[in-house]
């Protein structure tokens, strides 16, 4: 009975060790790449943010490089909101016109008044 307990304990220990977070990359959190005019591109390996670092007067300053991905995600969000609003408008217009619901009964039969052919 001790053998299964030992095997189970060993397996649990291996799973815990395997689930440990990855260590930092060998070069550290940031990777620097030289570019023109003595500046450097700084890549944050944890977040993916990119900055350009330049010497200004007696010190260095790093400024974030604009991220096109953020602009694209913002546009996707705007379009998704607009799409939802337009779907609501279409639904309201269908209800006003009493068009049949493709997923339900024909509501035109429920209208009173003259029928247009």
CA neighbours within 13 Å on the CB side: how many for 8? 5
Mean predicted confidence (pLDDT) in 8-21? 54
- Percent of the chain beyond pLDDT 70? 62
Helices (H), the chain: 2-18, 68-97
Is residue 33 predicted with pLDDT exceeding 90?
A: yes
Q: Which residues, 6 or more positions from 39, have their beta carbon under 8 angstroms from its beta carbon?
A: 52, 53, 54, 55
7, 63, 79, 109, 113 from 83: Cα distances, Å: 56, 35, 6, 30, 34
Residue boundaries of the structural domains of the chain: 31-65, 69-110
Report DSSP state, residue 113.
Answer: S
28, 46, 47, 90, 98 from 43: Cα distances, Å: 11, 9, 9, 46, 57
Is residue 17 predicted with pLDDT exceeding 80?
A: no
Residue scoring higher pLDDT (56 or 106): 56
Mean predicted confidence (pLDDT) in 5-32? 62
Residue scoring higher pLDDT (105 or 6): 105
Question: pLDDT tens for residues 54-80?
Answer: 998 889 999 988 878 788 889 999 999
Strand, helix or coil for residue 74: helix
């Amino acid at each position: 009975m001790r053998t299964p307990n030992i095997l189970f304990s060993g397996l649990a220990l291996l799973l815990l060790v395997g689930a440990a977070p990855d260590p930092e990359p060998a070069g550290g959190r940031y990777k620097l790449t030289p570019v023109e005019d003595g500046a450097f591109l700084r890549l944050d390996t944890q977040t993916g943010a990119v900055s350009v670092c330049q010497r200004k007067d007696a010190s260095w300053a790093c400024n974030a490089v604009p991220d096109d991905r953020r602009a694209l995600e913002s546009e996707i969000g705007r379009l998704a909101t607009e799409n939802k609003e337009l779907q609501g408008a279409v639904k309201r217009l269908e209800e006003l016109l009493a068009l049949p619901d493709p997923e339900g009964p024909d509501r035109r039969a429920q209208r009173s008044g003259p029928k247009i052919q």
